[in-house]
């Protein structure tokens, strides 16, 4: 019996947790530096932590990483730890992994009777103007408003949005 060995390509190479905390601390210390100063600090950092970084380099190369490991570390620091941290600070987040809390959007639904009225009107309107190729939903909506007057501006906006949605649903359904 022979066993078939399948080589699986690995696309995500993660750092040892000790190295990752070392890289994060470097990023936190040097995040406000300019580009040239940051690069020179990076070279000093490599020289200071040569043994730990060389062990990590060997480990990643054994896992199959073929590119320059130090370049990978530099780009990881620059993009993930410095730029994203700055971006989060600009958004008001204190942690790297916190995302801004957004208020849940409230949807204003229209009545089922009004929706059925809209759908029947759209179907009739599409039948009536079947031969017109470039009919726009705005024209159809205007004809709807001529027949059905709506006084409340908030309700009118809700109906307008629902009308356009229903119009495209019905139009795409009839074309297919």
Mean pLDDT of 8-13: 64
Residue 114 has pLDDT above 80, yes or no: yes
Q: What pLDDT does residue 106 have?
A: 75
Predicted confidence band at 44 (pLDDT cuts at 50, 70, 90)?
very high
For position 96, what pLDDT does the model report? 47
Task: Of 30-34, 51-55, 82-86, 105-109, give the range with the top mean pLDDT.
Answer: 51-55
- Tell me which residue of 160, 136, 130 sits closest to 148, measured CA to CA: 160
Q: For residue 104, report the phi and psi dihedrals to the nearest 5 degrees.
A: -70, 135
10 dihedral zone (left: phi>0; alpha: psi -120 to 50; beta): beta
Q: What sign does the CA torsion over 54, 60, 63, 65 have?
A: negative
Query: How high does pLDDT run on average in the chain?
Result: 79
Angle at 15 between CA 39 and CA 12, to 5 degrees: 105
| DSSP helix/strand/coil, 95 | coil
Q: What value does the mean pLDDT take over residues 49-59?
A: 89
- Using left for φ > 0, alpha for ψ between -120 and 50, and beta otherwise, residue 64 falls in left
3-state secondary structure of 168: helix
For residues 3 and 148, the model is more confident at 148
Cβ atoms 87, 131 nearer than 8 A:
no
Asked whether the whole model's pTM tops 0.75, one would answer no
Written as one string, the DSSP assignment of 130-162 is TT-SS--HHHHHHHHHHHS----HHHHHHHHHH
Position 135 scores a pLDDT of 73
pLDDT in tens, 66-107: 888 888 888 888 877 777 766 666 666 555 445 556 777 777
CA pair distance 167, 169, nearest whole angstrom: 5
DSSP single-letter state for residue 163: H
**The tokens of 173 are what?**
């359904």
């Amino acid at each position: 019996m022979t066993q078939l060995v399948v080589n699986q390509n690995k696309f995500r190479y993660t750092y040892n947790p000790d190295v990752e905390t070392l890289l994060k601390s470097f990023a936190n210390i040097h995040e406000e530096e300019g580009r040239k100063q940051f690069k020179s600090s990076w070279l000093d950092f490599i020289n200071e932590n040569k043994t730990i970084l060389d062990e990590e380099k060997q480990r990643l190369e054994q896992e199959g990483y073929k590119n320059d490991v130090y370049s990978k570390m530099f780009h990881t620091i620059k993009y993930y730890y410095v730029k994203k941290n700055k971006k989060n600070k600009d958004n008001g987040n204190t942690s790297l992994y916190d995302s801004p809390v957004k208020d849940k959007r409230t949807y204003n639904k229209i009545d089922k009777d009004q929706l059925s009225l809209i759908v029947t009107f759209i179907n009739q309107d599409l039948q009536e103007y079947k031969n017109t190729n470039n009919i726009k939903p705005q024209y159809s909506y205007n004809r709807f408003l001529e027949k059905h007057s709506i006084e409340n501006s908030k309700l009118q906006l809700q109906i307008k949005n629902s009308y356009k949605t229903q119009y495209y649903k019905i139009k795409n359904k009839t074309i297919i």
